[in-house]
Amino acid sequence: MGRLRRLLAPGRPKLVSLRTTFAVSFAAVTAAVTILVGILSYGSAARLVRVDQQSVFSQVVQDVRDEVRQHEMVPEDFSSSRPGHDLVRPARTDVQVLGAQGQIVDHGNPSLPVTSRDKAMALATTAGKVVQHKDVPVDGDLFRIATVSLGDGRGAVQVAQEFSDTEDLLRTLQQRTLILMAAVVVAAGLFGWWLARRITRRLVILTSAAEDVARTRRLGIEVPVAGLDEVGRLGRAFDRMLGRLAQSEEDQRRLVQDAGHELRTPLTSLRTNISLLRRIDELPPATRDELVADLGQEARELTDLVNELVDLAAGQSDTEPPQRVDIADIAEEVVGLARRRTGREIVLRTSGDTTTDGRPGMLQRAMSNLVENAAKFDRAGKAPIEVNIAGPTRTSPVRVEVLDRGPGIAEGDLIRIFDRFYRAADARSLPGSGLGLSIVREVAMAHGGAPFAFRREGGGAVIGFTVGG
Residue 149, helix vs strand vs coil: strand
- Contact call for residues 109 and 94 (beta carbons, < 8 A): yes
Region 55-68: mean pLDDT is 83
Pick from 147, 162, 177: which residue ends a domain? Answer: 162
Least confident of 6-10, 103-107, 374-378: 6-10
Region 408-423: mean pLDDT is 72
Residues 6+ apart with CB under 8 A from 272: none
Q: What is the rounded CA–CA span in Å between residue 218 and residue 369?
A: 36
Ranked by mean pLDDT, the top range of 253-257, 300-304, 361-365, 426-430 is: 361-365
Q: How confident is the model at residue 402 (pLDDT cuts 50, 70, 90)?
A: very high
Least confident of 1-15, 120-134, 249-263: 1-15
Kindly state whether residue 5 falls inside one of the protein's structural domains: no
The verdict on 167 and 240 lying in the same domain is no
Q: How confident is the model at residue 12 (pLDDT cuts 50, 70, 90)?
A: very low
Residue with more model confidence, 286 or 164:
286
Report which of 408, 409, 391 is spatially closest to residue 400, judged by C-alpha positions: 391
- Contact call for residues 441 and 451 (beta carbons, < 8 A): yes
Listed in sequence order, the DSSP H helices in 102-163 are: 116-122
- The answer to whether the predicted template modeling score (pTM) of the entire model surpasses 0.75 is no
The verdict on 239 and 169 lying in the same domain is no
Phi, psi (5° rounding) for residue 198? -70, -40
- Domain that residue 239 falls in: 219-319
Question: How many C-beta atoms surround the C-beta of residue 240 within 10 A?
Answer: 12
Helix axes 360-377, 327-342, angle to 10 degrees: 40
Angle of CA points 159, 164, 170, to nearest 5° = 130
The verdict on 105 and 192 lying in the same domain is no
Kindly state whether residue 362 falls inside one of the protein's structural domains: yes
The verdict on 150 and 186 lying in the same domain is no
Q: What is the pLDDT of residue 389?
A: 93
Q: How confident is the model at residue 187 (pLDDT cuts 50, 70, 90)?
A: confident
The verdict on 439 and 403 lying in the same domain is yes
Q: What is the pLDDT of residue 108?
A: 82
Kindly state whether residue 130 falls inside one of the protein's structural domains: yes
> Looking at residue 427, which CATH number applies to its domain?
3.30.565.10
- Please give the order of strands across the beta sheet that includes 93-98: 104-106, 93-98, 156-162, 141-149, 130-138
Task: Please give the torsion angle defined by the CA atoms of residues 37, 40, 42 and 46, in that order, rounded to the nearest 10 degrees.
Answer: -160
Kindly state whether residue 4 falls inside one of the protein's structural domains: no
Residue with more model confidence, 89 or 4:
89
Pick from 291, 319, 347: which residue ends a domain? Answer: 319
pLDDT tens sequence across 112-156: 888 888 888 888 888 889 998 888 888 877 888 899 898 888 889
Q: How many domains does the chain have?
A: 4
Q: What is the pLDDT of residue 206?
A: 74
Q: What is the rounded CA–CA span in Å between residue 386 and residue 462?
A: 9
The verdict on 228 and 90 lying in the same domain is no
Q: What is the pLDDT of residue 220?
A: 64
Region 242-249: mean pLDDT is 75
Q: What is the pLDDT of residue 258?
A: 61
Q: How far is CA 329 from the centre of its chain?
A: 41
Q: What is the pLDDT of residue 106?
A: 85
Residues 6+ apart with CB under 8 A from 285: none
Kindly state whether residue 167 falls inside one of the protein's structural domains: yes
Kindly state whether residue 10 falls inside one of the protein's structural domains: no
